[in-house]
Amino acid sequence: MAAQKTLRIALAGKPNAGKSSLFNLLTGLNQKIGNFPGITVDKRTGNCQLDADVMAQIMDLPGIYSLYPRTLDEKIVTDILSDKSGINYPDCVVLVADATNLKNCMLLLTQLIDLQIPTVLALNMMDLAARSGQSIDVQTLSAALDLPVVMINARTGQGVPELKNLLTTSIKPSSKTIYKVGEEIEPLVKDIQQKFNLGTRYQAYQFLQQTDNLSFLTSADKTYITTQAKAANFFQHKYQGAETVMRYSFIQDLLNKVTLKSSDPEWKKFSYRIDKVLTHKVWGYLIFFSVLFLIFQSIFAWAQIPMDFIDSTFARLSNVLDNYFPDGPFFDLITQGIIPGIGGIVIFIPQIAILFACIAILEESGYMARVVFLMDKIMRKFGLNGKSVVPLISGMACAIPAIMATRTIENWKDRLITIFVTPFMSCSARLPVFTILVALIIPDVKLFGFFNYQGLVLMGLYLLGFFAALISAFVLKLIIKTKERSYLIMEMPTYRKPKWSNVAYTIIEKTKSFVFEAGKVILAISVVLWVLASYGPGDAMSKAEEEVKFEAGQTELSAEEFEARVASYKLEHSYAGIVGKALEPAIEPLGYDWKIGIALVTSFAAREVFVSTIATIYSLGGTEDEQTIKGRLRSEINPKTGGPRYTPAVGLSLLVFYTFAMQCMSTLAVVKRETKGWKWPLIQLAYMTALAYVSAFVIYQTLS
C-alpha cells in the first residue's frame, strides 16, 4: 500500500465537451464535493485507480473556453493553473475537447501548452464527429502540438482504458511555444518572470494580465506588478485581444493541416428542425410551460408518496424509541429533538432528487439552453436572467433545491438576486398554513356560481408571492452594484439523448451536498427550537400537571384531554412561550396575541410547524383533523374586544405575513451555503420579515 503513487490530474475544457461524463466514468461513486477556500465554487474531486501502482486524484475544473475568466467561478481555473506551488496544482491536465467543434476547444489547449503544464488532449464525441463526416489526422495533430492525443467516447467509455494507461506514464510538457509575447513588452515580462522566479514567459505574462484574479499573490506583489505594467504601458485588453487572434490563426493553420475531411453542415439539420419548434413564438412557450407543469406535477405528486412515508417512519421511530428509552432529558432530546430534526432534513430528499433529475435531463438534452434563450429578454427587465427561470419555478415546490439550482447562473449579481427572491415563491410548506386560514376566514361560496372564493384567494396568494419576487428583484437590480458586466454569450449545444448515468450522478451529488451541508444547520436549529419549546425557567414545567388539575377543579377530564392541557400549559410556560409573550407588544398591531406569537417563533423552523403549534396551544392533542382546528380557532375569543380572535382582518394579516416572511431555517441554511457566509441570508431574513411585518400591519389596520 505504501508504495502507491498518487497523481493529481485536472480535467479542463469548455462546457458541454463531456468533462463531467469523463469525470463520472473515471471516479464512479468515489467523488466528493468540497470547497475551494474563500470562493463560491464547488471543488469536485474523486479518486481513480489508474493501475496497480498508480492512484490518481481527479479534479473536475469549471468549464472554460480560455484562461481568461468570464465569470467569478471561472477565476479558480487560472488561479490553480498559475500557482505551481499551490496545493491544487495538477501533475497533469486532461483537456477534454469536443471533436465536432475542435476549433474553440483548442484555444485553452494552446494556453496550457504555453504554461508548460503536462497536458493530454482527449478528443471526445468522435462518434458524432464521424457521423458529421469529419475526419482528423490524429497523428499529425499530436506531433504538431507535441503532446499525446487520445480518442475517447465519454458516453460509452471507449478509449478510457487507453487514457488511464497513458496517464500512468509520466507526461512531459509540450516543447512548443504558441504565443510569443510582443517585443515591446518583452523586458517587462522578463522582469516579472525573474522577480517571481517563474518557469515560463507566458506564466509571467498571465501575472500581468490577471493580477487581480490570482489569489496567491500578496498585495505587495500585486502593487509591484501593476506599477511595472503601468510604467511599461501595458494594456490588458489590447494584448489579450491580440493574443486570442494570434492563437486562432495558429489553430486555423493547424486544423487546415490535420483535417482530412471537414464536416458536412447537413448533420445539424435535425437539431435546427427541433429548434424551429422549440423556440417558436407560440409553440416554444407552450412547450416550455408544459415542461414546467410536468416538473411541478412530479415534484408535488410523485414526491408526496415518499415524503409521507418518511414523515410517518420518523414519527414511528420517535414513538418506538420513546417507549423503549427510560425517561430523562437526554432521551427526550433524542426522541423529540434530534430524530424529528433529522426527519426534517430527510423529508426534502424526494423533492430535491426529483427536481434535480428533471433539471439534469433538461441540461443533458440541450433544452436548457433554449429555455434560457426564450426567457432571457423577459427576465432581464427584472434584473434576472434567462437562467433564473428554473430556480424560480422550482421555488414553488421548495426553495431549498431551487436555490441550489441557481448554480447554473454565471453572473454573480444575477445569481444573487435569484437566490434572494426565490423564497418569495409560495412553496409547498406554506400550503398547510394557507389552507387552514383561508378556510377559516373566507366563506365557501362561489363567485358567479363557478369560481370558488377560497380557491381565488389561494391563487391570489401565489400571485402575490410571485410579484413580490419580481418587484424585489427589480429593486435589487438598482441597489446591488457590480463591476461584473451581465451578458449572454452562450453556446447552443446540439440536441442529444441524455446520458442516464450522468443524471443519476447529479441526483446523488445534489442530495448528498444538501444533506451534509444544509442538514447540519437545520438539525442544529431544530434542536435549539425544541429545547426552547420544552424547557422553561423555574419549576413551572414540573408543576404543569398539578396546575392543570387545579385549574380543572371539579371538572372530570379524560386522559387525552388532560394530556393536551398539560402540553398546552407547558408550551405556555416554556422559553418559546416567554418569547411569544415578549413578542406580543410587537405583534399586537398586526392583530396577533401571544399564542400566535409562539406559533411564529416555532414555525421559524419551517412554516408548516405553525399548524401543529396552534394545535398544541389550543390543547387539541393531535393535528389530524383539520375541522377540529378550524372549529377551535373559530371559537377563540379576543378578550379585549369580546369578539372572535380570528377575524378576517387577523386571518388576512397572517396570510400575508406567511406569504412574505422567511420563516424557514432550511432556506437560510442553504442561502448561507450558496453565498458562503451569513451576510446575505441575514439581509434576506431582515428584508422578508420587514416586508411581511409592514404588509401585515397595513392589512390589519385598514381592515379592522
Partner 1 sequence: MESLKSIAEMLPGETAVISGFRDDVLSVKLLEMGLLPGTVVRFNFTAPFGDPICITVSGYDLSLRIAEASTITILN
Close Cβ partners of 394 (under 8 Å, ≥ 6 residues apart):
295, 299, 355, 359, 401, 402, 405
How far, in Å, CA of 328 to CA of 305, rounded?
34
Binding span for partner 1 by CB under 8 A among 197-205, 311-319, 486-494, 587-595:
486-494
Selected from 1, 2, 3, 485, the binder of partner 1 by CB under 8 A is 485
How far, in Å, CA of 342 to CA of 489, rounded?
42
CB 359 within 8 A of CB 405: yes
Selected from 280, 520, 676, 679, the binder of partner 1 by CB under 8 A is 280
Which ranges constitute the DSSP H helices of 535-608? 544-552, 559-573, 575-587, 594-602
Secondary structure, 3-state, 278-322? HCCCCHHHHHHHHHHHHHHHHHHHHHHHHHHHHHHHHHHHHHHHH
Binding status of residue 267 toward partner 1 by CB under 8 A: no
Of 65 and 697, CB closest to partner 1: 65
Binding span for partner 1 by CB under 8 A among 348-356, 418-426, 489-497, 649-657:
489-497
Selected from 91, 332, 491, 563, the binder of partner 1 by CB under 8 A is 491
Selected from 394, 422, 494, 684, the binder of partner 1 by CB under 8 A is 494
Shortest Å, Cβ 281 to partner 1? 4
Q: Across the strands, what pairs with 119?
A: 93
H or E segment at 420?
helix 412-421
How far, in Å, CA of 391 to CA of 407, rounded?
9
Of 280 and 634, CB closest to partner 1: 280
Binding status of residue 489 toward partner 1 by CB under 8 A: yes
Binding status of residue 470 toward partner 1 by CB under 8 A: no
Cell digits of residue 114: 504555453
Shortest Å, Cβ 190 to partner 1? 24
Q: Across the strands, what pairs with 676?
A: none
Shortest Å, Cβ 102 to partner 1? 8
Mask 76-115, x = binds partner 1 (CB under 8 A)? ------------------------xx-xx--x--------
Of 66 and 335, CB closest to partner 1: 66
CB 639 within 8 A of CB 372: no
How far, in Å, CA of 675 to CA of 669, rounded?
10
Of 87 and 489, CB closest to partner 1: 489
Shortest Å, Cβ 271 to partner 1? 8
Of 24 and 101, CB closest to partner 1: 101
Mask 359-378, x = binds partner 1 (CB under 8 A)? ----------x--xxx-xxx
H or E segment at 34?
strand 31-35
Binding status of residue 281 toward partner 1 by CB under 8 A: yes
Cell digits of residue 422: 426565490
Binding status of residue 195 toward partner 1 by CB under 8 A: no
Shortest Å, Cβ 372 to partner 1? 8
185 phi, psi to nearest 5 deg: -110, 5
Binding span for partner 1 by CB under 8 A among 2-10, 219-227, 275-283, 343-351:
275-283
Cell digits of residue 353: 432528487
How far, in Å, CA of 211 to CA of 668, rounded?
35
Binding site for partner 1 (CB under 8 A): 65-66, 68, 70, 100-101, 103-104, 107, 237-238, 240-241, 244-245, 248, 263, 268, 272, 275-276, 279-281, 284-285, 369, 372-374, 376-378, 386, 485, 487-494
